[in-house]
C-alpha cells in the first residue's frame, strides 16, 4: 500500500521489445499499480478468516480511478488513502496485532522507500526516516510482535535498524552531498528488502548466517554460561568456605594423630564438609537446567542475524567499542564480552560519503 501511494501511478508506456523479457522493475507504472492492487486483493482474501463475517475493504474505487482517461494522480492517491484507512481500521478492530503488523509494514516500507523528488527532498526524506524517535517506535512495534513473528526476525531487524539509526545520527546526513544521499538510499532500500523477507517468513533468518557467525555465537554462549557459573560460585561462598574449613580440620586431625579413632574422625569431618558442599550446590542447581543454555544461544544468534542484515559501515557502528589489536586479543575480547561482532571492529566516525556496499547491494533484482 505504501508503494502504491508514493510511487508513480500512471503511464501510457507499454513494455518495449528487447532481447530479454522485462522484470518487475522494468514494467510501466500502470502495470505496477495493477500488480499492487492484485496483491492487496489476495492478501485481503487470505485475511478473511481472521476478519470475521464483516465486509472486506475493496480496491474497486482505486481501480476505477486508474482506468479513467486521463488519470488524475490526486484522485488515485485519495482512493489509495481511503483504502489504507479502511484496511487499518478493519485489521485493528479484528485483532490489534494485525493492525500493528500492518502499521509496521507500512513504516518499514516508508523507511526503505526508493528516492523521489529533488536533492533537497531526498536528503530530508532520508534524515526523517532514520531519526531516533521514529526508529524507536518501529523497534517497539517489532518487540510487541516478537511472539508471532518468525524466529530471530524481530530482534534481528530491530537491532539492524538501531545500527542504522546510530550511524545516521553520527554521520551528519543533513549536510551530506547528493551522491552520498542517493547511494545510502539505495543501500537502505536493499536492506529493507531483506528485512521484509525474514519478517514475512519468505526467508528464514538463520539463512543469512555464515559458518563464522555460528562460531562467534558459540563463543558468546560459553562466555554467558561462564558468567552464570561465576555468579553461582559467589552465591555459594559461605557453604564453600565452611566445607573448606571442615576439610582442613579433618586433614589436620589425620596428620596430627595416628590413632584409628582420630583418623576415622578426620575422614568423617571431610565427608561432612563434602556433604555440605553437595547439598548446598544441589539446592541452588535445582532451579537451573540445561534449558538455560538455549536462551543464551538464541540471543547470540539474534545478534549475528542483525549483523548480517546490516551492510557496512552501519553494521560495525557500535558506539564506545574499540577494536583490539591482534588476532588473539580480538578472540579473547570476543570470548570475554560475548560480543559476536568484536572481531569485526567499529568505525568511530562513520563517513557518509562511503556507504559501503552500495554497488554490490543497490542493484535491481533480475
CB 152 within 8 A of CB 302: yes
Kind plus residue range of the DSSP H or E element containing 143: helix 132-144
- CA distances to 155, 203, 304, 306 from 297, rounded to whole Å, are 14, 20, 11, 14
pTM, rounded to two decimals: 0.70
- Residue whose cell numbers read 508503494: 3
Tens-of-pLDDT digits for all 366 residues of the chain? 888 888 777 665 666 777 778 787 777 878 888 888 898 889 888 888 777 777 788 899 988 988 888 888 889 889 999 999 999 998 898 888 999 999 999 999 999 988 777 888 889 999 999 999 999 999 999 999 999 999 999 999 999 999 999 999 888 888 888 899 999 999 999 999 999 999 999 999 999 999 889 998 888 888 888 887 777 777 777 776 776 776 677 667 666 666 556 555 555 555 555 554 545 555 555 555 556 778 888 989 999 999 999 998 888 766 444 455 565 665 555 555 555 444 343 443 444 444 444 333 333 333
Domain residues of the chain, as ranges?
2-205, 227-288
Three-class secondary structure assignment of 230-241:
HHHHHHCHHHHH
Q: What is the DSSP letter of 313?
A: T
**Which grid coordinates belong to 129?**
526516516
CB 355 within 8 A of CB 180: yes
Which three-class secondary structure state does DSSP give residue 222? helix
CB 349 within 8 A of CB 177: no
CB 313 within 8 A of CB 344: no
* Cβ-Cβ contacts under 8 Å for 191 (sequence gap 6 or more): 112, 160, 164, 309, 310, 311, 361
325-348 in b/e form (b: 16+ CB < 10 A) is eeeeebeebbbeebbbbbbbebbe
Which three-class secondary structure state does DSSP give residue 215? helix
- CA distances to 54, 249, 259, 275 from 267, rounded to whole Å, are 80, 10, 12, 12
CA dist 182 and 142 (Å) reads 27
Amino acid at each position: 500500500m505504501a508503494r502504491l501511494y508514493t510511487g508513480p501511478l500512471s503511464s501510457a508506456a507499454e513494455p518495449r521489445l528487447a532481447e530479454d523479457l522485462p522484470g518487475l522493475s522494468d514494467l510501466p507504472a500502470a502495470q505496477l499499480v495493477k500488480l499492487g492492487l492484485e496483491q492487496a486483493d489476495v492478501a485481503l482474501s487470505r485475511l478473511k478468516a481472521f476478519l470475521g463475517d464483516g465486509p472486506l475493504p475493496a480496491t474497486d474505487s482505486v481501480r476505477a480511478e486508474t482506468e479513467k482517461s486521463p488519470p488524475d494522480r490526486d484522485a488515485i492517491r485519495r482512493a489509495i488513502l481511503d483504502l489504507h484507512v479502511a484496511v487499518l481500521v478493519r485489521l485493528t478492530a479484528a485483532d490489534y496485532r494485525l493492525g500493528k503488523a500492518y502499521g509496521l509494514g507500512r513504516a518499514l516500507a516508508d523507511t526503505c522507500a526508493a528516492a523521489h523528488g529533488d536533492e533537497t527532498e531526498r536528503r530530508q526524506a532520508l534524515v526523517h526516516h532514520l531519526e531516533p524517535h521514529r526508529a524507536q517506535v518501529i523497534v517497539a512495534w517489532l518487540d510487541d510482535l516478537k511472539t508471532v513473528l518468525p524466529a530471530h526476525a524481530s530482534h534481528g531487524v530491530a537491532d539492524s535498524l538501531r545500527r542504522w539509526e546510530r550511524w545516521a545520527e553520527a554521520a551528519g546526513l543533513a549536510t551530506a552531498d547528493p551522491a552520498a544521499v542517493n547511494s545510502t538510499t539505495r543501500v537502505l532500500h536493499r536492506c529493507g528488502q531483506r528485512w521484509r523477507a525474514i519478517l514475512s517468513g519468505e526467508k528464514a533468518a538463520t539463512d543469512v548466517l555464515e559458518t563464522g557467525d555460528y562460531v562467534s555465537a558459540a563463543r558468546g554462549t560459553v562466555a554467558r554460561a561462564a558468567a552464570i557459573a561465576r555468579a553461582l560460585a559467589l552465591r555459594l561462598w559461605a557453604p564453600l568456605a565452611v566445607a573448606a574449613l571442615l576439610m582442613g580440620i579433618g586433614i589436620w586431625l589425620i596428620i596430627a594423630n595416628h590413632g584409628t579413632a582420630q583418623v576415622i574422625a578426620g575422614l568423617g569431618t571431610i565427608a561432612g564438609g563434602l556433604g555440605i558442599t553437595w547439598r548446598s550446590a544441589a539446592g541452588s542447581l535445582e532451579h537451573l537446567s540445561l534449558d538455560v543454555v538455549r536462551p543464551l544461544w538464541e540471543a547470540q544468534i539474534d545478534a549475528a542475524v542483525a549483523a548480517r542484515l546490516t551492510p557496512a559501515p552501519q553494521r560495525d557502528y557500535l558506539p564506545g567499542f574499540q577494536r583490539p589489536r591482534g588476532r588473539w586479543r580480538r578472540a579473547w575480547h570476543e570470548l570475554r564480552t560475548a560480543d559476536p561482532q568484536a572481531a569485526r571492529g567499529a568505525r568511530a566516525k562513520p563517513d557518509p560519503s562511503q556507504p559501503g556496499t552500495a554497488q554490490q547491494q543497490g542493484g535491481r533484482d533480475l
